[in-house]
Amino acid sequence: METKGVEVVFTKPCYGLITSLYNLERKHPITGKVQPHWGVDYGDDKDNTIMAAAQGVIRFIGRGHKSAGNFIIIKHSNGWETAYLHLASISVKVGQSVGQGQKIGVKGMTGGATGIHLHFEVSTSTWPGKYKNNVNPVLYIDDPNVRELQRNLNKLGYKLIEDGIYGEATIHAVKNFQSKNNLLADGVAGHLTVASIKKALPIHIGKEDPSMTEPNVNIVSPSHKEAWEWAKEEGYLNGERPKEPLTREQFATVLKRVHDKLSK
């Protein structure tokens, strides 16, 4: 891959999880035919603002295209271009200069899309060319969601570099976790996989965990208050972590013990 001469640093163009990776052997979700996926998809999020991935000039705007829908092409100072497809709305004009992170539109599902998402492409020259100049966008983006994913996978024993880049090692770790947990092993950490990873994490009990603050006696039941006092006496809540972090199962056992004690 030719990456020489890159002075432009790209930032994530929207919020949300990756729902589909750059993949030259991907089966199209609508036609079922093998059709390369020349970009990365970011799914629907609470905030669907689309932002310029780097400073540049709006080179082209398309509206109502059969497959791309409403889309924007930005030309950057190193000659690379970024493409933002399926937009619900566009808030810039051709020829306008935009700064990195500046709002350019809103994520949507115009054109050939099965749901609200951003299809994002990076080309090392004029887009689309024959796509031969496209590169895998996620290799150029430090994604906060990917950093969190890598941090959580490392807590489960994986040894990933926490750089926010969804490279081969991260894909491999995600596939490994998915196949061990009866999930579709596609290497894409969607909502289900992310939730399963979080569920598998060991949890810590102590004052560092904001969810374990002193119960408010006005809103909790007497038994909740009593359980709290019991756990405190047992040394679980004295502000120090137990020698080993408790797993979710161990925590459930502690809760059951509290429950059994109170039921007697």
| Least CB distance to Zn ion at residue 22 (A) | 9
The nearest distance, CB 39 to Zn ion, in angstroms, is: 5
Residue placing its CB nearer to Zn ion in the complex, 120 or 228: 120
For residues 170 and 159, give the distance between their C-alpha atoms in angstroms, rounded to a whole number: 9
Q: Which residue is nearest to Zn ion (CB)?
A: 119
Least distance (Å) between residue 148 CB and Zn ion:
22
What is the closest distance, in whole angstroms, from the C-beta atom of residue 110 to Zn ion in the complex?
13
Q: Given the complex with Zn ion, which of 41 and 81 has the nearer CB atom?
A: 41
188-222 CB burial, b ≥16 within 10 A, e <16 = bbbeebbebbeebeeeebeeeeeebeeeeeeeeee
- Cβ closer to Zn ion: 76 or 119? 119
Question: What is the C-alpha to C-alpha distance for residues 36 and 60, in angstroms, rounded to an integer?
Answer: 23
If the CB atoms of residues 80 and 84 are measured against Zn ion, the closer one turns out to be 84
Interatomic CA distance for residues 9 and 142, integer angstroms: 10
Residue nearer to Zn ion on the CB measure, 35 or 102: 35
By C-beta, is 20 or 170 nearer to Zn ion? 20
Strands of the 89-90 sheet, one edge to the other? 49-51, 103-106, 89-90
**Measured from the CB of residue 41, what is the shortest distance to Zn ion in angstroms?**
4
Q: Show Cβ contacts of residue 233 under 8 Å, excluding neighbours closer than 6 positions.
A: none
| Residue 50 buriedness (CB in 10 A; 0-12 / 13-18 / 19+) | buried
Footprint of Zn ion on this chain (CB under 5 A)? 41, 119
**CB of residue 42 to Zn ion, shortest distance in Å:** 9
Half-sphere exposure of 42 (CA within 13 A, CB side): 29
Cβ–Cβ < 8 Å for 194, 17: yes
175-184 long-range contacts, CB within 8 A, separation 24+? 177/153
| Residue 128 CB coordination number (10 Å) | 15
